[in-house]
């Protein structure tokens, strides 16, 4: 699979989808943005797109947009909470560089 989720990410996605019965999972993609080229997108989805890759882990469905599949190959999706923030974090082994603020990356 191109993306695998940590138990923390699986649990958080389950919590988020619990109140959204019309959504079947979340969709992960990349967009051109920021000072270094690409940034991740994460959104609820009601269906699997024709060219999406579907990754099912512990009952959680994550769909990877076609144009993001190679970029995200081998990426770990985690959910991290600390005193100041809580967020999904992508640990991507393909990244060659990131911007100083962490908003974008390049491959």
For 45, the token pair is 């989805």
- Give me the pLDDT at residue 28, please: 92
Question: How many angstroms separate the CA atoms of 82 and 6, rounded?
Answer: 16
Q: pLDDT of 3-28, one tens digit each?
A: 889 999 999 999 999 999 999 999 99
Question: How many angstroms separate the CA atoms of 89 and 77, rounded?
Answer: 6
Cα–Cα distance list, 35 to 2, 31, 52, 95 (Å): 25, 12, 27, 14
CATH class entry, domain 3-91 = mainly beta
Domain boundaries defined on the chain:
3-91
Q: pLDDT of 36-93, one tens digit each?
A: 567 888 999 999 999 999 999 999 999 999 988 888 888 899 999 988 888 888 887 8
Total residues belonging to the chain: 107
- Give me the pLDDT at residue 25, please: 95
């Amino acid at each position: 699979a191109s993306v695998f989720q940590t138990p923390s990410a699986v649990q958080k996605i389950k919590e988020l989808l619990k109140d959204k019965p019309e959504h079947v999972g979340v969709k992960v993609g990349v967009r051109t943005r920021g000072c270094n080229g690409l940034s991740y997108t994460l959104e609820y989805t009601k269906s699997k797109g024709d060219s999406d890759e579907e990754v099912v882990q512990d009952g959680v469905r994550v769909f990877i947009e076609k144009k993001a599949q190679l970029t995200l190959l081998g990426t770990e999706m985690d959910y991290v909470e600390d005193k100041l923030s809580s967020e999904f974090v992508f640990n991507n082994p393909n990244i060659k560089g990131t911007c100083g603020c962490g908003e974008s990356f390049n491959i």
